[in-house]
Amino acid sequence: MATPGTEYPLHIVDAFTKVPFEGNPAAVCLLQNDTDIKDETKSKIASEMNLSETAFVSCATPDTNFSRADKFILRWFTPTVEVDLCGHATLATAWVIFHTTNNQHRELKFETRSGTLSAMRKGDSVSLDFPRFPPRPLNADERRLLQPVIDICCGSVGDDSVLEVSLSPDTYKLLIRLKDDVNVSQLKECIVFPDHLLAQDTGGLIKGVILTLKGSAENGAVDREGTPYDFVSRYFAPWQGIAEDPVTGSSHTVLAPYWSEVLHKNMLYARQCSKRGGDLLLTLHPNNRIEIAGHARIVMSGKLML
């Protein structure tokens, strides 16, 4: 348990980008033991950071340290709740361990609410091994209940812009695919008011909404070098205290299996086109797992003083 005056290393990392101030920022706090800070205090720290997630990572065994260990306990807190899975903060955590602690392991294991996750060095990037959670079509009752949410998310691109709607019951994420003739600029300009979403009775079916669109050069879904993305997306989760998440690893555990089936591809290049934006390389493996690879930049390092 922390005593007054205790200090802990704290880093702010932009994940899924090579460029500072893009991608998705996460705070990463290094603890020797998870019990060093009470959960109530973790929640207050996450609120103080006011980022979509703050990660708290500790060594899985107390007789080692961050430079020698390859097994860790990892937890993620939004400004309001603890969450079961967070991709960008996992990438940020692995990046911090690999780049600031002199840890020479090729692979790190994280024990989390979603089971054991691994992070591996992959050239100059980090690759995450995550479960995948394919969505299924809505039934009639779910469609009727969630139609107001669909209307709120797609109102600015028109009611006839929706091609398909599905639900990932494992992650409580609603996936809304827009028609192929919608362009990336229209997706970026969609205005989604979080208060309007929170006011809807969703029956507890969803905790987040994904808007997604097939990528092509014709609709403007290309990177800085002109390479087309396979798909692009945005993600909204006001039910978890996140109005819009800049880049979301966990949403791609739903998106990747969906688009893999649509495009008949097991390797996908994706863009989350929030204002900050970020790129993800996705590989689907036959063991019902997904590899999510990306870069990160540490933009601030300091100490948390309690």
Closest-CA residue to 34 (of 80, 75, 88): 75
How far out from the chain centre does Cα 108 lie? 19
Exactly one of 7, 22, 40, 53 is catalytic; which is it?
53
Query: Is 22 in the active site?
Result: no
- Any idea what the Cα angle at residue 148 is, between residues 144 and 149, rounded to 5°? 110
Please provide residue 230's backbone torsions phi and psi, each rounded to the nearest 5 degrees: -70, -35
Buried/exposed code over 41-77 (b: 16+ C-beta within 10 A; e: otherwise): ebbebbeebebbbbbbbbbbeeeeebeebbebbbbbb
Q: Which DSSP letter does residue 50 get?
A: T
Q: Which residue has the tokens 């990336």?
A: 184
* CA 193 – CA 199 distance, rounded (Å): 10
* CA 163 – CA 151 distance, rounded (Å): 13
Which residues are tagged catalytic? 53
